[in-house]
Amino acid sequence: MTPKTLTYEKAIKRLDEIATMLEEGTVELDKLTNYLEEAHRLLDFCRQRIDKVQTDVEKILSDPTQ
């Protein structure tokens, strides 16, 4: 997934997939770091999206003309 095609929903789905693999113990040790790095990037992306949406909602709610 490229940053332009990544959505919050896709990021959450991928995080769920990674978490499942880690919980099941199906990740090869050599690939563990790669999955953790990917999860970290996805978490950062999700946090940024949530922050932006929260800011947008607060802006809309504080401006009665919108």
Q: Which amino acid is at 40?
A: H
Is there a domain that residue 57 lies in? Answer: yes
Residue 66: pLDDT over 80: no
Asked if residue 1 is part of any domain, the answer here is no
The number of beta carbons lying within 10 Å of the beta carbon of residue 36 is 13
Residues 6 or more apart in contact with residue 38 via CB below 8 angstroms: 14, 18
- Reported as a single tens digit per residue, the pLDDT across 10-64 is 999 999 999 999 999 989 999 999 999 999 999 999 999 999 999 999 999 998 7
Place of tokens 């090869």: 28
pTM (2 d.p.) = 0.82
What's the pLDDT at 63? Answer: 80
Q: Is residue 2 part of a domain?
A: no
Domain assignment of residue 13, given as a range: 8-62
pLDDT at position 1 is 62
Q: What total of structural domains would you count in the chain?
A: 1
Q: Answer positive or negative: Cα dihedral of 59, 63, 64, 66.
A: negative
Confidence at residue 65, expressed as pLDDT on a 0 to 100 scale = 74
Domain assignment present for residue 51? The answer is yes
Q: Is 3 contained in some domain?
A: no
